[in-house]
């Protein structure tokens, strides 16, 4: 089976991007690195990309007249690198239907809550403030909604009495670093099938 090419969309420090790339470099994920695209010129992920052996570029939305024009350039670069899977690892932009349709069921996102609870930004604090006893993180495919696409994997995190919002976020992030590489590995091994809203994982391999 030919190796799939994995590319990334990032906006920040790139800890989830790093977690996936380390798994690729160590051979745990059988995949080829594509390109890291950031919408922020000062994103930390851009500076660590060379150390991880992957090309990187900033495509600044301020240089384009609208969201779709910006995404057309993003799409052009992703295609140039023959991208099979796009991993949105801390990408703080809602994608337009244009890019979603170009990579239907091939854009994975990591969200710091147990969807469908607490979609959108600041999910960790929302869960903490609401008083739920269990929260966590979700890997899902991006569709035209906000954090509404088919769910690939989830991990639960217990909220303890002594937890703080920042401490809870750190616990969730640790689980993100575990399940996102695992979801990417399953995709690259062709072990994921989508049936309506449900993601079926082949456990036989």
Per-residue pLDDT of 113-133, as tens digits, reads: 999 999 999 999 999 999 999
Which conformational region is residue 194 in: left (phi greater than 0), alpha (psi within -120 to 50 degrees), or beta?
Answer: beta
- Write the CATH number for 143: 3.40.50.170
Cα-based torsion angle of the residue sequence 155, 105, 185, 169 in order, rounded to the nearest 10 degrees: -30
Catalytic site residue 177?
no
Task: List, for the chain, all residue ranges whose pLDDT scores fall below the cut of 70.
Answer: 205
- Distance CA(131)–CA(35), nearest Å, equals 40
Percentage of residues in the chain with pLDDT exceeding 90?
98
The model's pTM: 0.96
111, 122, 140, 177: which one is catalytic? 111
Q: Which domain holds residue 101?
A: 4-201
Q: How many domains does the chain have?
A: 1
């Amino acid at each position: 089976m030919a190796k799939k090419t994995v590319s990334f969309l990032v906006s920040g420090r790139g800890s989830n991007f790093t977690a996936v790339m380390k798994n690729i470099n160590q051979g745990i994920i059988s995949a080829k690195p594509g390109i890291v695209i950031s919408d922020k010129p000062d994103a930390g992920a851009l500076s660590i990309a060379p150390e991880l052996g992957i090309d990187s570029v900033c495509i600044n939305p301020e240089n384009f007249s609208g969201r779709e024009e910006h995404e057309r350039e993003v799409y052009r670069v992703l295609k140039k690198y023959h991208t099979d899977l796009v991993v949105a690892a801390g990408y703080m932009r809602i994608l337009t239907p244009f890019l979603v349709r170009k990579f239907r069921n091939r854009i994975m996102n990591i969200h710091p809550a147990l969807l469908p609870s607490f979609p959108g930004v600041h999910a960790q604090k929302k869960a903490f403030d609401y008083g739920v006893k269990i929260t966590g993180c979700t890997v899902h495919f991006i569709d035209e909604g906000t954090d509404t696409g088919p769910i690939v994997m989830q991990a639960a995190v217990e909220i303890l009495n002594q937890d703080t919002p920042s401490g809870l976020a750190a616990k969730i992030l640790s689980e993100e670093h575990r399940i996102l590489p695992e979801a990417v590995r399953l995709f690259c091994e062709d072990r994921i099938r989508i049936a309506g809203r449900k993601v079926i994982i082949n456990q036989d391999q």
